[in-house]
Amino acid sequence: MENFILGFFDFVGNLNFDMLGTFLSFVLVIFWLVLIGWVWIDSGERTSKKSIRITYLLLVIILNIPGLIIYLIIRPSETIEEIYWADLERRYLKFETSELGDCPKCGSQLFPGFVFCTNCGFEIKKKCPSCGMLINKDHKHCEYCGTQVRERAVGEEQYPNAQVMEQQVLASKEHATQTVESKRTKYKTGSSFAVKLGSGILALLDTTKTKLNSKTKAVEIEQVIVNKDSEQTNKGKKKKKNKKKKRR
């Protein structure tokens, strides 16, 4: 009787273990298939090139989860739609805010329609010699009659291609950084009270948590580099501003 019961438990134990193994491998196969399907759909939102999508797919088919991690690292960071809408939004906002800005001379805020700075009298727009309309001082041609009003570098006259657009995106990023981090800034700075408090606490804990300390040091170095960059960009501010206006 005892032997029979022990045998029965052995049988149940073996059976459950086998079933568990089968069940687990079944779940793994399903997971693998879902993974492959997801990578195919996700890559389709990021690139239209079939060959690249198939490469991503092979990565996950062969390497499974490590392949997925590699895919997540190397896939394009934005979907095609995100790129499209971000670019459209950027250009639209640029148009909308083209008359908003600060006086190049005294820095007071300008509003749409201003011809002179209300604070220092700096001339913001000038009359077109041909049609007499008020035009942007940096435009090459009058926007109302097309008369050429100033010379411009030949390189900037080409029709915007992907490279030019990328440069524009970079330029607006630089402009954003420069605007936000400059000393005359009216914007809040990137480092909030919480960041300052956090780095203060980390500085106190430097004896015990050397790892964390080295991280903040790296951040500090980054900040120094950013500051240097903004100093340099400030030096070339006038030049760049002119360039940007020309691009419009």
* Min separation Cβ 173 and Zn ion, Å: 26
* Min separation Cβ 103 and Zn ion, Å: 3
Closer CB to Zn ion, residue 130 or residue 167? 130
User: Which residue shows structure tokens 């008020």?
Assistant: 134
Residues that bind Zn ion (CB under 5 A): 103, 105-106, 117, 119-120, 122, 128, 130-131, 142, 144-145, 147
Closer CB to Zn ion, residue 44 or residue 107? 107
Residue 135, H or E segment: strand 134-136
Backbone dihedral angles phi then psi of residue 113, each to the nearest 5 degrees: 95, -10
Identify the sign of the CA torsion 174, 234, 99, 155: negative
β-bridge partners, 102: 109
Q: Is 2 buried (19+), middle (13-18) or exposed (0-12) by CB count in 10 A?
A: exposed
- Residue 106 contacts residue 99 (beta carbons within 8 Å): no
User: Which residue shows structure tokens 């950013």?
Assistant: 226
Closer CB to Zn ion, residue 144 or residue 187? 144
Closer CB to Zn ion, residue 60 or residue 110? 110
Return the axis-axis angle of helices 210-235 and 162-181, rounded to nearest 10°.
Answer: 100
* Min separation Cβ 247 and Zn ion, Å: 20
* Min separation Cβ 109 and Zn ion, Å: 10
Q: How many CB atoms lie within 10 A of CB 64?
A: 15
Q: Which residues contact 75 (CB under 8 A, 6 or more apart)?
A: 42, 43, 46, 56
* Min separation Cβ 199 and Zn ion, Å: 37
Q: Is 228 buried (19+), middle (13-18) or exposed (0-12) by CB count in 10 A?
A: exposed
* Min separation Cβ 110 and Zn ion, Å: 8
Closer CB to Zn ion, residue 60 or residue 128? 128
* Min separation Cβ 98 and Zn ion, Å: 18
Closer CB to Zn ion, residue 223 or residue 234? 234
Closer CB to Zn ion, residue 116 or residue 187? 116
